[in-house]
Structures are given as C-alpha cells and as structure tokens.
Structure 1
C-alpha cells in the first residue's frame, strides 16, 4: 500500500505538473514553426510532441501527421525533404523529388523564408510568455508593496552602500522600481555586482552604489539557491500595500516587460557562467523542471502557468543559441548563405551538425548531473 501511495504521489505530485508545463511550452514552440511553414508553402510531414514511438496521432486534411510520442522531453516539426527531427536535409530524397514535390520541400524555399520558419519557434515561446503574464495581470492585477526601506540590518550590503530607514527606492540601474518585489528580483540575481540606485530620502533624490552580498539560502521547498541580498526589510504597514489593476493594453505591456526582464536576467546569468562570475550549479535539466513543477503546483494553477511562462522564455533563448542542431545554429547557416549567395558546403554543414549534436548531448549530461547533485543535497 505504501508503494502504491508513493507511486501515486510521484505521478500526481510531479509527473502530471511536469507534463502539463512542458507540453504547453513545446506545443507552442513547434506551433510557431508549423504555422509559418504552412504560410510559406512548406509541406509539413509530422508535428510531434515528444520523441520516440508514437502513442497516438491523426492525419489532418493536408497530410500532416499529428502525434503524441512516448518520450515527453521536447518535440519537433518535420518538413518535406528533412532527414530527421533536427531538419537536417535528406539530400538523396531531395534529389529524387519531382519538380512539384520540390515546391513543398523546406530546403527549396528562399533563405529568408527558411529563416522565418526557424525563428518562429523561439518567437512563439516569447509570445506565449507574454500572453500568460498578460492574462494573469489582466485577470488578477498585481499586489504591490511600496519599495520603502523599513529597517537596515547592521553590517549588511545596504548599510555599506548608504541605504537608510525611510528611503523610497526609485530606480536600480536605471530601471524604475514600482514595488518592493521588483527590488528583490533585481537584487537576488545581482550577487557581488554593484548596482546604481536612486532613492527618495525625505523629498531629496540621493544616488547610491550598493553591492548585494552573495548568500546561499533555502526556499520554502528546501531548495538551495545562491542569491544576492541587501539586508533590508519592507514596510509592514497595510497603507503601503495595494493591488494594481490592469486594462488589456496595460496588461500586454506589463506582460512584455516581465518577459523581457526574465530574458535579460537569464542571459546575464549565462554570461556570468561563461565568464566565471556565476556558478553553473543552477543550470538544471528535466529532473529539476519536474521537481520545481511539482512544488509550484502546490501553489495553484496560476503559479504553474507562471512557471510555464518562465520556462517558455528559457526554451526560446536556448533554441536561439548559435549551436548547430538548435534553431540558432540553423539561423547562423542561413546568415552565411545570405552573405555569400549560396549555402555552405555539405561537408561544412555535416561537421557543424555533428559538433552541435555533441554540444547538446554534453549540456544534457551536465544538466542531468546537476539535477542529481541537487537532489542528493536536499
């Protein structure tokens, strides 16, 4: 009975939220490729959510096979003339095509159309994130606590930087601070990095430079994270708390700003990993996503949708990396083709795809190893 209970908890508590989040993100990514491909006259052979053996599927009126596959760790759209899910051309099959068949082949389309089809996947991820955030803002508004400093801890980064009780934070690195949560989010991802602040101090605008201290903390679920801390607390007064409601246009603008913030901070973190300023132990794979999905699911559907939006931005950015096999690698090839007036040689492309496959596999292994270490440290 205990074994059945544990299995049930695993499926309902982690697997179902994980599949919910990942399926939404993957579906919209591939839908971006699919819609633009159809618009450009490319024949789509397969639209798959997941990899491996097909669990079930159907053919639409234009002959595309829509399928749900066994391994739920991604998806793909396969076009006419493709050899595999990564859109590597099947040159023998293309050479054997009739003139009519070639009209619908992806590889036969102008480079601008191929680039548009490839870029549409990551763009769809960003649009999905904007839509989710905008829907949340429009439906529920946003709880805002004034960015007012109530207390400054002795010996903290805030004290060293000159922050005082009663300061109202106006901007951080030129970004307008509307709520105390805005300050927390910027500071948490800026450990050991000096931030330029402007504050309202009794009616006078004061400029400060503050460097958040790096600290390893545990969240409510027991996960360890390395974040930046200032050492200030917000005002406990209910007079400093309000709900901001958004109209439709305002919600879309706020959703776009939220998506941009996540993209900017993600790229900043990745840049920090490359330069050695940030630790790579926060990079996670499917195990970490499943764990976080289960934890966030306990907070409700809206929290799970917010996680889907964050993950969608991350997937969009990862796919734009200039690595062959990923969308960004294809775009690099198309840029080279546009500049030199002809495609790169088959040998160069084949070597690029092999290198790209190696890089992707190494990243997957590294992320999974991080996930295992993370679980053993809980």
Structure 2
C-alpha cells in the first residue's frame, strides 16, 4: 500500500507535466481543447473552465491525455466528420492546423518531461550539490578488467566511448550498462595519451531491498569524492548533461534488449515502478526526487518512440505527410492506431507479467499447485 501511494506521488505530477506541455502548446496556437485528463476510464471528479475544457481525474492512474476538439478519441485520431464544419470552426481544430504546429504540440509533452528533469537536477545541484571525483586512478583491483586492459595507478581517464570525461562519475553508468562489451577508453600517462580497449566484467549484485541486477565492473579505485554546490548557471549546464547522459543510457539499454544482449526480464512496468517508488522514498528525500527526475526522462523517452498511439508515432505520421504533401489515408490512419493500441496493451501485459515474476509470484504459485 505504501508503494502504491508513492507510485501516485511520483507518476501523477509527471503525467500532469507531460499533458500540460501538450495543453500549453495547443493554447499557444489557439487550438480548442475539449478535455484534460489525469488517468483513463470513468471520471472520478472534474470541472469545466471558461474555455470549455473539461479537467478531470479518472479511475486508472496510468497516464493521461489532452483531447482536442475534432478528435474521435484520447489518442487524437481525427474525426472525419470534422471536415463538414464551417471554415471558422475548422480554424481552431488540431487536425486542420499546419504540420509544424501539430508537431510542436505533440513534441511539447516529451520535451517538457526532459525540461522538468533538468529543473530537478539543477535544483539538487544548487542546494545539495553534485558529486565530483577527479577521474584519476588511485588503484587497480587485482585480476580485474582494468588490470587486463593495462591501466595503472596514476592514470587519468580522458575519454570513454568518444565522450570527454570530466569526473569519475561520468564513466560509472557507461561501464554499468555495458557488461561484456568492449569499450574504447583514452587515458593520460606521463604527458601522453594512450588509447585502449576495456571490457567490463559481468557481475550480479543485490541491493538492500533484495533487487538482483546485472552490471558491468572494471575494477578501478578512485580518489576521495567531493560534493560541490554549483551556481544556477553551472547547475543548468550540469543538469542538461546529466539528462542527456541518462537518455542515451536508456536508448542504449533498450537497444541491448532488442538485439539480445540483455534479457527482456530486465524490463519493468507499472508494478516495478511502484515498488521502486516506495524504495526510493524509504531512502530519503534526495533519492526520491532523483527517482522522479529519472522517471520523467523515461516518460519523455518512451513517448518519443515511433509507435502509433504514442507521441513519436504521431510525429512519424506528420513526417510522412510532409514528404507526401498530403495526410495518410483515413484507412491507413485507422489501422496504424489499432496496431499501436495492440502493441501498447500487449507491452503493458507483458511488463505486468514480468513484474509479477520479479516479485516471485509465479514461483510461489508453482510451489502451491505442484
């Protein structure tokens, strides 16, 4: 129950922020909005504002939507009957706006999620501070990947996978998500730079909550870590870099799962998010706020995937429309939305089964009925 409550605390505001991005962009282009919903299904309560927009809280808190006038449903599938309206009425409908305006409205949702994460990280870096460890090797774990690669104490890590390394923390996540995969690293030693390849070893770890996960380790020992408070300008830059790095990690991890380098069992759904929400809250305010920023990035990233029903799918259709010079046919549009709905529902079902397996539900049932 505690995890469920923290799940609502984490996801509810992020869904609101996401849909608020769509809403504000639509208002900017004078698009009429019929509804703004947090959650799906029957309305629990709501109100109608002076612009005739119905604001509602719905039963299923697993997302939300902004419904534009002239749409058949919450997925913004255009209503063919809208073409019969007068030119004055069509002027304020989303489907009759120029492509670039529709694209801005659709992209505004994911983009505001990324911006929200940047805001959270910037606030943390100015108040709590940002961890900083000089990327200098203090020691090498015997028989480790670092020793096999020829790294020595005193070496400075300059680049990893073509990206400059400013602090030791920059390499931790890259190493963690690439177990068993060779990485290009550049070190500085005695005034010269040396390029080498290093392959993180696969290790299985268990955290204090009993979660088991696989990660990569190379066996480097660093110097002492400082926590530095940044000024607002530095904080925004560092927060933007942090958000971009986490987004890249999500894309890399997803590709690893698609390509078979990672098991699909590592994917988590709503139940796992709820579980981690409760765990993050138990660790304190800073871990909880950091987790909220991470989920905000995740929400923005997932919605940009080119799947019909998601924002990324809409952007793909607008790109096709721009190339063809006319929208795709209503039949193609209908089937794309049906396919997207089937994919999303199938994925949600799969992730839920995955989550229950990670909690040991299926093993318990098997023991009970065996």
- Which of the five TM-score ranges fits, normalised by the shorter chain? over 0.9
The reply on whether 1:164 has 2:152 as its aligned counterpart is yes
Other structure's SS at 2:208 match: coil
The reply on whether 1:148 has 2:132 as its aligned counterpart is no
Gaps of 5+ in 1: 1-9
Q: Which residue of 1 aligns with 2:274?
A: 290
Other structure's SS at 1:69 match: strand
Greater than 4 Å deviation, 4+ residue runs? none
- CA displacement 1:211-252 (0-9 Å, x = unmatched): 1012221122211111111123333xxxx3323221111111
Distance 1:171 1:142 in 2: 20
Residue 115 (structure 1) aligned to one of 103, 128, 136? 103
Are 1:24 and 1:308, in contact at CA under 8 Å, matched by a contact in 2? no
Q: Which residue of 1 aligns with 2:45?
A: 56
Shift of 1:352: 0.9
Q: Which residue of 1 aligns with 2:67?
A: 78
Q: Which residue of 1 aligns with 2:295?
A: 311
Distance 1:370 1:331 in 2: 30
Shift of 1:101: 2.4
Q: 1:218-297 residue pairs with structure 2 within 5 A?
A: 218-235=206-223, 240-297=224-281
- Structure 1 residues 261-270 or 201-210, which shifts more? 201-210
Distance 1:189 1:214 in 2: 10
Q: Which residue of 1 aligns with 2:285?
A: 301
Q: Which residue of 2 aligns with 1:7?
A: none
Count of residue pairs the alignment pairs up: 362
Other structure's SS at 1:356 match: helix
Q: Which residue of 1 aligns with 2:125?
A: 137
Shift of 1:202: 5.2
Distance 2:85 2:55 in 1: 24
Q: Which residue of 1 aligns with 2:24?
A: 35
Q: Which residue of 2 aligns with 1:20?
A: 9
Shift of 1:293: 0.6
- CA displacement 1:236-283 (0-9 Å, x = unmatched): xxxx33232211111111111011001111111111122222222221
Residue 57 (structure 2) aligned to one of 68, 91, 95? 68
User: CA distance change for structure 1 residues 204 and 341 in 2, over 3 Å: closer, same or farther?
Assistant: closer
- CA displacement 1:74-109 (0-9 Å, x = unmatched): 0000000111111112223x1453433222211111
Q: Which residue of 2 aligns with 1:342?
A: 326
Q: Which residue of 2 aligns with 1:127?
A: 115
- Structure 1 residues 212-221 or 77-86, which shifts more? 212-221
Residue 354 (structure 1) aligned to one of 334, 338, 345? 338
- CA displacement 1:278-306 (0-9 Å, x = unmatched): 22222111000000010011122222121
Are 1:197 and 1:207, in contact at CA under 8 Å, matched by a contact in 2? yes
- CA displacement 1:104-136 (0-9 Å, x = unmatched): 211111122111111111111111111111111
Shift of 1:174: 2.8
- Structure 1 residues 164-173 or 263-272, which shifts more? 164-173
Q: Which residue of 2 aligns with 1:370?
A: 354
Q: Which residue of 1 aligns with 2:366?
A: none
Residue 88 (structure 1) aligned to one of 77, 92, 99? 77
Superposed CA RMSD in Å reads 1.8
TM-score, normalization by structure 2: 0.93
TM-score, normalization by structure 1: 0.91
